[in-house]
Amino acid sequence: MTITFYGTRGSIPVCESGFQEFGGNTTCVAVSGKKEGESILVFDAGTGIRKLGKELISKNFSQGNKIYLTFSHFHWDHIQGFPFFAPAYDLSKEIEFFIIGNDAPDIHDFKEILAKQMESTYFPIRIDDMGANFAFTVNKDNKVTFDGGQITVNKHSHPGGAYGYRLETEGKVFVYCTDIEHGDGLDQNVVNFCSNADLLIHDAQYTPEELANHKGWGHSSWEQAIAVAEAANVKKLYLTHHDPEHNDDFLRKVEWQCQQRFSNCFLAREGQVVEI
């Protein structure tokens, strides 16, 4: 599978100079297969989804191949890019929004979450007027079959709750685990969830020093992310949800520190493509 980072920033997008190497758009990650034009799975719809949409349109993403869009949670930095997602305005495109988990909202509430930010007070076009063929799916199970593989979810600590996703397909394991607060130790459920992953994307908004002053904010340090990867026997680790105060120089130094401890650890860069 191919994983592409379209948004790596946390909390709010940034566009100043000095923030371009690692990217300024908020969270969006796409997973695709090896064949051109296959269906695509998208995690979160931060501002990075705008660029993904432009790419899909330019590549003439085939009619009949679905775009699957799911969410770790619904904080604004994870949904704010959706109104600018070009395929959503294309009558030939099929987009299935889905969410998994035993306390997932019902379908009406799920749709309403996305529709709310497109009310006339905030945006000129309603979700029902966008044009693409939308389907909304809610599955209360924590494990489902997906496109020949399997997706498992794990709820973790974050204000309002958030889910990690584990995708297993063709003998490979990909785990997406952002917006997570471990607390004073590691959340052992998260460690178990990440077990033997070929690729783990993990929240690392803070340095260990910053984390001490941000208890209850719902995020992790790079040190905690590495500890999860070590305990879970993860092969490759990408850190994401970069703090909007951390510029490229700062993040390069963090990446160097991380690699002294876990050599196969990288800070995610917007536009980066990873094959597993």
DSSP string, 36-86: TT--EEEE--STTHHHHHHHHHHTTPPTTPPEEEE-S---GGGTTTGGG-G
Above 70 in pLDDT, residue 159?
yes
Whether pLDDT at 110 is above 60: yes
* Residue 106 pLDDT exceeds 90: no
- What does the pLDDT read at residue 59? 81
Which element (helix H / strand E) includes 210?
A: helix 208-211
Determine the pLDDT at residue 34.
Answer: 63
Domains detected in the chain: 2-275 (3.60.15.10)
| Least confident residue range of 83-87, 104-108, 111-115, 179-183 | 104-108
Q: Give the pLDDT mean for 87-95.
A: 94
pLDDT at 63: 56
Output the pLDDT for position 108: 87
Residue 70 main-chain phi, psi, to 5 deg: -130, 175
Which amino acid, one-letter code, is at 44? D
Q: What is the mean pLDDT of residues 73-100?
A: 95
Local confidence band at 36 (pLDDT 50, 70, 90 cut-offs) = low
Task: Name the region of 42 (left: φ>0; alpha: ψ -120 to 50; beta: rest).
Answer: beta
Which pLDDT score, from 0 to 100, does residue 64 have? 57
**What's the whole-number mean pLDDT along residues 50-58?**
94
Average pLDDT on 74-88 reads 97
Better-scored residue on pLDDT, 39 or 50: 50
Across 241-258, average pLDDT: 98
Q: Is the pLDDT of residue 95 over 80?
A: yes
Between 17-31, 41-55, 137-151, the lowest mean confidence (pLDDT) is in 137-151
Instruction: Give the type of residue at 19.
Output: F
Q: What is the pLDDT of residue 148?
A: 81
Residues constituting the chain: 276
pLDDT at 78 over 70: yes
| Residue 37 clears pLDDT 60, i.e. is over it | no
Q: What is the mean pLDDT of residues 90-100?
A: 93
Question: Per-residue pLDDT for 263 more than 90?
Answer: yes
On average, the pLDDT of the chain sits at 94
The answer, yes or no, to whether residue 62 has pLDDT greater than 70, is no
pLDDT of residue 205: 98
Looking at residue 35, its pLDDT comes to 59
- Span 152-166, average pLDDT: 96
pLDDT of 45 reads 98
Q: Give percent above pLDDT 70 in the chain.
A: 97
Collect all residues with Cβ–Cβ distance below 8 Å to 29 and sequence separation of at least 6: 3, 4, 5, 6, 7, 42, 43, 44, 176, 201, 240
